[in-house]
Amino acid sequence: MKLAWECRAWDMKAPFVTAGETVNRIEVLHVTLAAGGRVGRAETMGVDYRGETIRSMADALSGLDSRALMALDFNDLQELLPPGGARNGLDCALWDLRAKQSPGGIQALLGFPIKPLVTLYTLSLDDPDSMARAAREAAPLNRLKLKLNDKQTLECLEAVRAARPDAQLVIDANGSWSASLLMSLGDDLARLDVALLEQPLPVDGDAVLDGLRYPVMLCADESLQSSAELDDIASRYDAVNIKLDKCGGLSDALAIREWCLARGRQFMVGNMLGSSLAMAPALVAAQGADFVDLDGPLWQSMDVNPALDIANGWIQPPPAALWGQ
């Protein structure tokens, strides 16, 4: 088994603005695992708010014992590296390699089919008029995710809802709200038919959500990194956002998915931005998800080739030359 990686960069079509940052360009690692004449591939970006960088992920991969790689399997991999970007790259590359070694590809390994899914499309944080204009321009995409902070929050939401009465709306606050703002907005969010509110409070301030009956569903993002934390946040959130970069790959993403399905809990599969190569394994974890947020390639000026087929929000299963077959 030969492990390699290289840095790639993707430019955004427009600034991607959240409550915490403005992104014009991202750097990622492309990870490959080669064995027996076949090569598994993956893309990983890591989790910047947890201090991960391209250098730290590359250092983690370079520190692996070559003997451990010789007989690498999915269970051992979870012990080799902690949750995060380095494990994500290695894990997803291993899934791709094993899929290529299997006559039935990724679907044979999983035991369930990979079907087309509809993704949310993200509207960057902006003033109310600009967000409303972006919402209108996003037609015919009818599932929208709004990046909102604690400034003009209701005004932005009302403007988007007026512009797009047909759309499903999800809000992502990226932990920027106060508890008082959250409580004051509850009835308005319900009135404006918000389907989901993602990470309203900072990670160190979400204990106030324990047992709270809020007017709309609350979803954990930054508050949940991996499957090991599910029980800790179960009483605070109605749903969870699974991101492969956070949890460390498809293996742990599938564990979170199974936990949610077994308990009737809703889940989203999201992304940290990235190309079709990053979204392809996430599409696997998103089978059966209540919300799919895999619009990263739509924000990029370029993509890998071949890329995922994404039209009017519908994402088709990855082509054989991309990943998983």
Provide the 3-class DSSP secondary structure of residue 299: helix
Phi, then psi, of 210 in degrees rounded to 5:
-55, 115
Rounded CA separation 291/284 (Å): 13
- The H or E element spanning position 254 is helix 250-263
Rounded CA separation 104/204 (Å): 45
Rounded CA separation 227/232 (Å): 10
Contacts of 75 (CB under 8 A, 6+ apart): none
The phi-psi region of residue 40 (left if phi > 0; otherwise alpha if psi is between -120 and 50; otherwise beta) is beta
Which residues are identified as catalytic?
147, 243
Q: What Cα–Cα distance (Å) separates residue 280 from each residue in 84, 119, 249, 252, 307? A: 18, 13, 12, 16, 9
Rounded CA separation 107/126 (Å): 41
For residues 165 and 137, the answer to whether their CB atoms sit within 8 Å is no
